[in-house]
Amino acid sequence: MSEYEVVLLRHGETVGYDGDLGLTPLGEEQARERGAALAKEITPETVVRMPHARTARAIATAVGLREALVEAGIEPGPLHPDPWFDNLRYSLHGRGVDTSDAVTERLTLTGDLPDWAREYDRFDSDYRSVAAAGGPIEYWLHNPTLYFEPPHVAAHRFWRGITEVGRDAPENLLVVAATHSAPMRAFLATTLGEDPGEPHNLEEIRVRVRPGGGADVTFRDRTTAMTVPPHLPPWIDRDWFESYGR
């Protein structure tokens, strides 16, 4: 395996968090600007792969990033959805769904609410400025829940995504993944030992993976040396994990 780098990027500004919604015009511009900035550091021999989460806002972000790279003369690989980099998941009637789907059903309910809906309301009932600033993710990281994907599971699946995209990595591989702040913050909290707060739209985590399983995780001005987790803890069901989002 060759050394490679993964750039995890939070999606651009979204229309809202009360459904699977896309980007605002500003969010689209943020994605293009970030793509143009990335293009300046990409050398001709770099191989660029572009997985993304499966929400509308992550897809739109990936599209804007790729368009900017192409305009700059870069030839990235095709966009492709990758569930390992998905948004925070939710147990809705026993099915693992994106939180965007959970809130869509929550908003159809009135009167006495079932437990799952009350838990969602504790997580978020604003869907706009508070959500954009990361308030719900702050709650999720610091409070046990019954229906949300646990933070450590989100961190483990990010690590799996990082290793899978680099399997049989060619020389000079760069992976650019449009994703979400919840798994990004869980990944950072388990790496740094603390929650660094909400990443800005299109802010990045960089993970440089070396042969042998070593990795350097960089966020803002802080780099932490890690070993890619060699196995899942026994309390994560392997069959479920391996079929994640599939």
Q: How far is the C-alpha of 225 from the C-alpha of 2, rounded, in Å?
A: 18
Q: Domain ranges for the chain, please list them.
A: 4-87+152-242, 90-142
Look up the CATH number of domain 4-87+152-242: 3.40.50.1240
pLDDT of 130 strictly over 70: no
Q: Which helix (H) or strand (E) holds 216?
A: strand 214-219
Residue 124's pLDDT is 83
Q: How far is the C-alpha of 10 from the C-alpha of 185, rounded, in Å?
A: 10
pLDDT in tens, 91-119: 999 999 999 999 999 999 999 999 999 99
**Mean pLDDT value across residues 75-97:** 96
226 contacts 217 by C-beta, under 8 angstroms: yes
**Mean pLDDT value across residues 221-234:** 96
pLDDT in tens, 25-41: 999 999 999 999 999 99
pLDDT of 128 strictly over 80: no
Q: How far is the C-alpha of 196 from the C-alpha of 218, rounded, in Å?
A: 12
Q: How far is the C-alpha of 56 from the C-alpha of 180, rounded, in Å?
A: 11
Residue 171's pLDDT is 94
**Mean pLDDT value across residues 34-60:** 98
pLDDT in tens, 164-216: 999 888 999 999 999 999 999 999 999 999 999 999 999 999 999 999 999 99
